[in-house]
Amino acid sequence: MRVLQGIAVSPGVAIAKAMVVDDQQPRVTRRFISRANVDAELKRLSGAMDLVAEQIQASQDEVAVELGDQYGAIFSAHLQMVRDEKLNESLIDSIRYRHYTAEYAVSQSFARYIQFFERVPNPFLRERAGDFRDIEQRLLNVLFGADAKKKLAAKQPSIVLANDLTPSEMANLDRVNIRGIVTEVGGPGSHSAIVAEALELPAVVGVGANLRDIQTDTMLIIDGHQGRVIVSPDEETIARYEKEVEQQRQTKIRLRGLRDLPAITTDGETITLMANIEFPHEADACIERGASGVGLYRTEFLYLGQDCEPTEEDHYQVYAKVIRDMQGSPIVIRTLDLGADKIFGEDHPPEQNPFLGLRSIRLSLRNTDQFRRQLRAILRASVLGDVSVMFPLVSTLHELRQAKMLLSDLMEDLEEQSIAFNRDLKVGIMVEVPSSVVMLDRFAREIDFISIGTNDLVQYTLAVDRNNPDVAALYNSCDPAVLRLIQMAVDSAQKAKIDVTLCGQMGGNPVYTMLLIGMGLRSLSVTPSAIPEIKQICRTVSTEKCRELAARVRDMDNAWEIKRLLREHLRQLFPDEA
């Protein structure tokens, strides 16, 4: 039995035999055509491009029907790539002037795009290399006469192992027998990871070259919560995970009954459970799972896969939809949280360290035209419901004041134009860098609320890139330094009498619920699917017991021992599910 560590991108457990998917890319050799055949070869290329565009459109329609329009939009970006003028000029020139075959022209042209994106430091933009591989594979399949619509099928319950899976391959997965996905490369921002989570398929990516040693039919277990792949597990391990799978199934059924019940501790303390969402249609999941509101509405997807920046009206329409669908519940809209390379594309020189570079509020304050459009849309939408605005990655008071000044200017503009907005719009910040925690007493004088973003707070406190498989194991939310910073943030917010919510992934992990309540948190924002389980814990514990646990944790200095203690308390709460 071996345990491989990767990056968890889609939760859940899968137990099945391995199905190794080889690189399906046809081998392309350099071949030439005669001058007399150039026109015919160009016609062949044009026909292949048209057919691939039709295939992509079909994939978009299929995914949109099953998962929603926003997931289908992944393929609209592919359509734009196929129709890109520069790409098409490159292909045509390779055939017309170099007399390459259409297959070799495709191979050479796409190789340049793929290599460019693979060198980009930003992990999100780097993932786009996979999109170009996907289109290249489709084109070569058509040119070679292969069946591009062939589904990735399995004859028995299987876990797919691959170097990587393109969005097209994900869309064509056999939904009956494929139980999980493991890849050598990839990260949380890849389209494949997004689709896997939407399909509720356990997935672990970034496992590395160790995956190549595994043969088809090898028994595997995927632990999509911990990012683990267990190879050739012994009977005891299989039995343990089979029990976990069955318990999760039973728990899911039982928790549906909690939907309309409040999250109140046994001694009467109310815990507000809100939802983190990315797409407007997720409001339905929030209502279905009994969310008290949207604690974090990410707005980045408005910018992804687009040729141009979204207009003020684009922003307004999606905000208005969520506000309407949430039926009066509070909604916190976070302004843009992307890096400059995504907004400016190739015009922006690669940054040596994009995580410390021009991103989030820094980028918005640099690109004020874009920022103004988003803020105007939020202000206009603020009259439709209980809306707040939140600025991400604020690290200095100067940044906050600049953002608020721009917001104030826009309010005056709207007043002059007789456009309605909520003058009392609440303003908050994401607390996700150590500097904002240390200075929170000063920040608190100028804001209405904070939301603790643990994903970045852990990353910046421990100097660990969680997308880097070489150091991802060092990323630990239980680290005493991280917990002290969270406690400092909670204490400062309470002293200043402003609202505090925790909206990072830590809040959606049941292991941490008792600790976070014990540290004083009374509001959590988590993925909609996590709400029932977190609510169950809230309704089972007392604040006194939670405070006792937090006090014990404060005296500990080892992250692994802290996590062990938290897991033990969770097992004591639900022994039948341990």
Rounded (10°) angle between helices 69-82 and 38-67: 170
Active-site residue (options: 191, 286, 315, 538)? 191
Region of residue 293 (left: phi > 0; alpha: psi -120 to 50; beta: else): left
CB proximity list for 368: less than 8 A, separation 6 or greater: 406
Question: What is d(CA 238, CA 242) in angstroms, rounded to the nearest whole number?
Answer: 6
CA distances from 77 to 135, 139, 387, 448 (A): 11, 16, 31, 38
Residue 478 bears catalytic tag: no
Active-site residue (options: 478, 503, 538, 546)? 503
Helix (H, G, I), strand (E, B) or coil at 425: coil
Q: Are the beta carbons of 499 and 427 closer than 8 angstroms? A: no
The H or E element spanning position 310 is none
The sheet that has 7-10: what strands, in order across it?
2-5, 228-231, 219-223, 13-20, 158-162, 178-183, 203-205, 7-10
Longest CA span, the chain:
86
CA distances from 302 to 48, 71, 288, 336 (A): 30, 12, 24, 9
Q: Are the beta carbons of 240 and 491 closer than 8 angstroms? A: no
CB proximity list for 261: less than 8 A, separation 6 or greater: 290, 535, 539
Question: What is d(CA 501, CA 504) in angstroms, rounded to the nearest whole number?
Answer: 10
Instruction: Choose among 471, 473, 431: nearest CA to 454.
Output: 431
Q: Are the beta carbons of 502 and 496 closer than 8 angstroms? A: no
Q: Is 574 exposed, middle or buried (0-12, 13-18, 19+ CB in 10 A)?
A: middle
Instruction: Choose among 152, 3, 9: nearest CA to 505.
Output: 9
Residue 503 bears catalytic tag: yes
Question: What is d(CA 286, CA 282) in angstroms, rounded to the nearest whole number?
Answer: 6
CA atoms within 13 Å, Cβ hemisphere of 122 = 23
Instruction: Choose among 292, 277, 498: nearest CA to 386.
Output: 292
Question: What is d(CA 457, CA 416) in angstroms, rounded to the nearest whole number?
Answer: 40
What does the angle CA 500 – CA 502 – CA 505 come to, to the nearest 5 degrees?
Answer: 175
Single-letter residue type at 335: T
**Cα-trace Rg, the chain:** 25
Instruction: Catalogue the E-assigned strands of 373-474.
Output: 387-391, 426-431, 449-452
Q: Are the beta carbons of 563 and 511 closer than 8 angstroms? A: yes
**Residues known to be catalytic:** 191, 503
